[in-house]
Amino acid sequence: MGDAYPYPIKAYFLYMGAPVYALPAGNQNIPSLADPNKIPLFVTSDIVISEHSAYADYIFPDLTHLERWEFHRTHPSIVHRVSPVRQPAIAPIPETVTVFGEQMPISMESVFMALAEYMGMPGFGPGGFKAGVDLSRPEDLYLKMVANIAYGDSSSGTDVAPDASDEEVAVFRAARAHLPGSVFDFEKWRNAVGDAWWRKAIYVLNRGGRWWSYAEAWSSGQTKAKYGKLVNLYHEKAATTKNSLTGQYMKAVPGFVPIADSLGRPINDAGYDLRMITNRSVLGTKSRTVSNYWLLDRRPENFIEVHTSDALRLGLQDGQKARVVSATNTEGVWDLENGTKVPIIGKVKVIEGIRPGVITFTLGHGHWAYGANDQFVDGQVIKGDPRRAAGVHANAAMRVDDYMKNTTLSDVVGGSAVFYDTMVRLIPA
């Protein structure tokens, strides 16, 4: 977006993401986010003012995991097939709005539906799916997705979920009696899925999804959930695809590739003697986990974890503060483009449980937004919580591509960002 390639944008919509915080070298997004000539309009839907959404022109409230719908299927590598369904469990915190004549909590879905109503877009509102089948509420879509899960994996219809009994229907209604009509309306939910699938949908919702038992995962000693297709050691598609930057064909078989920029030029950051990686703790798996104070109480801050031999070589003591610098962030800071620079400084933790020459830090700490700093909303100061700022977040020190200039290193075949190939130095702070 910042390079206006292949074309400039007029508006940027983001849902529940925090690329500035979460991506390697995510700080490279900040100059574009802060420049209205590059991004004239930035709209996001989020439950917080994050390190990314802090630059938005408009932030629409969204729903938390306890208030919203969400669907996840199993990855093919998982033996036991599961289809969990996250569904509203508490009354929504955001205010209620009216879209297509229906009351619903403000959320990403209601914002998009309101835009569709305003613009008169087809495929939304009364008759949105087809004549007599509406798309006027989020459940009009989500309950049909539940019906898909109820149908099962077999195209022949041999895996259809059973109907919920009268007792299950009663349990279903009682379990949602505390929800307001803007969220749960028995008749509207039934109409959304249709009488033929309603009790099957209740069967799925009461169980939070569908789940294979242990016995169902195996057949004659083999996994039932097979890939079903050829697994290639030689990948013809890669072999016949050219790198758009170099004009060279991709590699079709596994092989060693040196750390390089997007043009394939090797990177050798002389003078930077430590390879920095990142990992996750079970007490803080996401950028947003810092809001869980039960977990934060168990792990109030993270550390720059260093092997004993490296600490001795560098003269670093356990608990001492150090700054992380790299070839593409020699100052060791997050430059927020508003006159503020957040130093990449954390406490050293000397351990044996890491390879010499490698340092790491866990994700989720070291926030400068996400409730860590003061915010002004409607003229009122919402005080930040310093507990959310504790620790260090060193993604800004991760290596930038020498050719792209404002993007992290990447796997040019898979397209993924590179988290584990940055060489850094530690400087006592």
Residue 152: alpha-carbon gap to chain centroid? 27
Which pLDDT value is given to residue 5? 87
Please report the sign of the dihedral spanned by the C-alpha atoms of residue 113, residue 46, residue 172, residue 85.
positive
Side-chain-side CA neighbours of residue 265 (13 Å): 8
Distances (CA, A) of 186 to 132, 189, 198: 18, 5, 10
Q: What is the pTM of this model?
A: 0.89
User: What average pLDDT does range 98-126 have in this prediction?
Assistant: 97
Does residue 279 surpass a pLDDT of 90? Answer: yes
Report pLDDT digits (tens) over 177-188.
999 999 999 999
Written as one letter, the residue type at 310 is: D
Which pLDDT value is given to residue 54? 95
Does residue 229 surpass a pLDDT of 80? Answer: no
Which pLDDT value is given to residue 284? 85
Report pLDDT digits (tens) over 64-83.
999 999 998 877 677 778 89
Does residue 30 surpass a pLDDT of 90? Answer: yes
User: What average pLDDT does range 102-107 have in this prediction?
Assistant: 97
- What is the Cα–Cα distance from 84 to 39, expressed in whole angstroms? 37
Both tokens assigned to 329: 């962030």
Q: Which of 28-37, 166-175, 240-249, 357-366 has the lowest mean pLDDT?
A: 240-249
Instruction: Answer whether 101's CB lies under 8 Å from 76's CB.
Output: no
Instruction: Answer whether 429's CB lies under 8 Å from 322's CB.
Output: yes
User: What average pLDDT does range 240-267 have in this prediction?
Assistant: 90
Residue 315: alpha-carbon gap to chain centroid? 38
Which pLDDT value is given to residue 214? 80
The fraction of the chain above a pLDDT of 70, given in percent, is: 99
Which pLDDT value is given to residue 121? 97
Q: Which of 45-59, 68-82, 132-146, 197-211 has the lowest mean pLDDT?
A: 68-82
- What is the Cα–Cα distance from 46 to 291, expressed in whole angstroms? 14
Which pLDDT value is given to residue 52? 96
Count of H helices and E strands in the chain?
10, 22
Does residue 218 surpass a pLDDT of 90? Answer: no
The DSSP element (H or E) to which 97 belongs, if any, is strand 96-99
Does residue 228 surpass a pLDDT of 90? Answer: no
The DSSP element (H or E) to which 118 belongs, if any, is helix 108-119
Question: Nearest Cα to 362, choosing from 338, 330, 405, 392?
Answer: 392
Which pLDDT value is given to residue 361? 97
Which pLDDT value is given to residue 276? 98
- What is the Cα–Cα distance from 191 to 187, expressed in whole angstroms? 6
> What is the DSSP code (8-state) at residue 274?
E
Which pLDDT value is given to residue 178? 97
Domains of the chain, CATH where assigned: 77-216 (no CATH), 259-428 (2.40.40.20)
Does residue 216 surpass a pLDDT of 90? Answer: no
Confidence band, pLDDT 50/70/90 cuts, at residue 287: confident
Tell me what the pLDDT averaged over the chain comes to: 93
